[in-house]
Structure 1
Amino acid sequence: MLIDFASRPPHPDFAPSAPHLQNYRRVYQASESRSAASDAAQGLDSWLATYERLGARHVVLKARDLTTTFGFKIPNEVVADFIQAHGPRYIGFAGVDPWQADAVAQFDHAVRNLGLRGLNLQCFELKLRPDDERLFPLYEKAIELNVPVNIHCGINFSTHTPMAIGRPEYLDTVMVRYPELRAVASPPGWPWVQELIGVAWRHPNLYIGVLAVRPKLLAKQHSGYEPLLQYGRTILKEKIIFGSAFPMMPVETALADLDGLGLDAATRQLWLHANAARFLGLDAGGT
């Protein structure tokens, strides 16, 4: 069974102009070109068919609201409408602009009225560290609503915002203040991978999202990701959540990479399904 925690439909509503991310296109040029080649011009029907073929239980789609910082937005309504059109396989996370006075109200509306199931905070795009006090009311609302939060962690390749915003130590501060918050650090913290492992080990409710990185790098010597494989097979095996990050790479390429890591069957199922199901508040099995 599969839950893909990070995928973006190849649809114009999910791809507004994003000049602040142009350096990402340079960094991920090779992998994104493989997505295009493997997915027949990245058509929506092909994307939907991939998850049908794989028998995916759920695919998580994330809204983003960067109105104040970059004039960029994937609205909550777009995500909710997509889910309404394409069915319960798809789960949505809300995106709100914490620089706006009604951010908490927008988050509440997205969950209670639009049916979204979490909050997405790409902090480097918001120009806020995860432990910025401006975000505290959103964490408190997530706890009240009993929904999880996705928090960007590690390097970002936008040259419009500092890389240091993604340091895992700021997540440690958040989890100390809000130990009941369910949060996932994704991508998985490079170049501070060991720091993230320490933070996740400390806090029972902090997960690690292996996404926006080729899973095969976890087994590559000197990549900096090797500790994730070591700890992800052992003491943190119930903390790792898989995401393909399509279109950064084809979904089936990401899965093939993961299968090349030599995980035992029980750990593979934790990474691909059970951990995400627990994080999302779903039953362990089901459809």
Structure 2
Amino acid sequence: MVIDFSVRPPHRSFMDDFYDPPDYLKGYAHLYADRFNEVNHFLHAPIEEFFDHLNSAEVHLAVISGKDNETLHGRKIANDVVSEIVNKYPDRFVGFAGVDPLKGMDAVREIERAVKDLGLVGVAIEPFEYNMYPDDRKMYPIYAKCVELGIPISLHCSINFSTERKMDYGHPQYIDTVAVDFPELKLIAMTPGWPWVNELIGVAWRHPNVYIQTAAMRPKYMNMPNTGWQEIVHYGNTVIQDKMLFASGWPLLPIKRSIDEIKGFPLKQDVQEKWLHKNACSLLTIEL
């Protein structure tokens, strides 16, 4: 049984960044170009075929997220669309809200609406897309609202492949600052930290509410010497075993291949189950 903590459903509104990427995301389109055939296939197939694809990988539930980058780029995956998909397929999807931190209090009010009216259960933001660090004060009202509502927030924490954005926006030190200022906030570091993997391990180790999500980085490299990743398997098997969340980032990575590669890690059996679903169940307060 698996919970995939980051999936874009095969719905055109979620795929615009792949088919018509803004200039600052074209590095991603090049990096993941070999994934387009699978995206095209599922976009033009019945949704049940995608569910069969999830079933073949033993994925029971997938987290999908909205996105709002209207202020800078006029792009949006509406939270209403996320809610519509989740409500239509509640046994397959869980929804996180996307908000634009440059919208100030409108973003805060949108989180309230997304949770209380739309039934979404978290927030997902990639600060580098807004030319912001996670500890930017524009983000702090968003964090306060998440604490108030008792929901987690997922933040990009790794290299980004936009040559128009600073790589440093994804450094774990800024997650650490937020965790110090908001100790009750449930923080998910998404695309786990490379090339600052050890720093992110330290942040997750010392903060009870910081989690690490594996999306978009091929798992086999995490278990390979001299990649800068290998410590995450060691510590993920020991002191941060309760902090690891599996995510493929589909369509960026194939789902089943990613799961099979994690199953090949030298993890204790109970720890492997934590990575693949138990930690996600605990964080989302759900039972499977």
Work out whether residues 8 and 249 of structure 2, in 8 Å CA contact, stay in contact via their aligned partners in 1: yes
Post-superposition Cα deviations, 1:179-213, rounded to whole Å, max 9, x if no partner, equal 01001101101011111111111101000011111
Change (3 A) 1:33 1:222: farther
Match of 1:66 in 2: 69
Quote the Cα distance in structure 1 between the aligned partners of 2:281 and 2:248. 16
The 8 Å contact of residues 18 and 72 in structure 1, kept in 2 or not, is answered as no
State yes or no: 1:183 paired with 2:187.
Answer: yes
- What secondary structure sits across from 1:108 in the alignment? helix
Matched, 1:106 2:110: yes
Q: Structure 1: how far apart are the matches of 2:50 and 2:268?
A: 28
- Distance (whole Å) between structure 1 residues aligned to residue 65 and residue 9 of structure 2: 10
Displacement after TM superposition at 1:254 (Å): 0.8
3-state SS in 2 of match to 1:57: strand
CA contact (8 A) 1:63 1:75 kept: yes
1:1-287 maps to which residues of 2 (within 5 A)?
A: 1-16=1-16, 17-19=20-22, 20-30=24-34, 32=35, 35=38, 43=45, 44-101=47-104, 102-282=106-286, 286-287=287-288
Separation in structure 2 between the aligned mates of residue 166 and residue 125 of structure 1, nearest angstrom: 11
Quick one: distance in 1 between partners of 2:78 and 2:190?
Answer: 21
How many angstroms apart in 2 are the aligned matches of 1:15 and 1:168?
28
Q: Distance in 1 between matches of 2:170 and 2:74?
A: 21
Structure-1 separation of matches of 2:146 and 2:43:
37
- Alpha carbons of structure 1 residues 26 and 42: separation in structure 2 relative to 1, 3 Å: farther
Q: CA deviation at 1:243?
A: 0.4
- Residue deviations 1:223-243 (CA, integer Å, cap 9, x gap): 111110111111111111000
| Residue pair 2:185, 2:209 contacting (<8 A) in 1 also | yes
> What is the rounded CA distance, in whole Å, between the counterparts of 1:114 and 1:2 in structure 2?
25
TM-score relative to the length of structure 1: 0.93
Q: CA deviation at 1:27?
A: 1.7
Q: SS of the residue aligned with 1:184?
A: strand
Between the two proteins, what is the percent identity of the paired residues? 39
What letter corresponds to residue 225 of structure 2 in structure 1? Q
Aligned residues: 282
CA distance in 2, matches of 1:42, 1:238: 38
RMSD: 1.7
Local SS of the residue matching 1:81: helix
If the length of structure 2 is used for normalisation, what is the TM-score?
Answer: 0.93
| Whole-angstrom distance in 2 between the partners of 1:195 and 1:34 | 36
How far has the Cα of 1:153 moved from its partner?
A: 0.3
Q: Answer with 257-266 or 3-12: which moved more.
A: 257-266
Task: Kindly provide the amino acid, as one letter, of the partner of residue 51 in structure 2.
Answer: L
Pick closer, same or farther for the CA change 1:174–1:219 going to 2, 3 Å: same
Assess, with a 3 A threshold, how the Cα gap between structure 1 residues 42 and 5 changes in structure 2: closer, same or farther: farther
SS in 1 for 2:271: helix
Q: Is the 8 A contact 1:63 1:94 kept in 2?
A: yes
Where does the alignment leave 5 or more consecutive residues of structure 1 unmatched? none
Structure 2: gaps (5+ residues): none
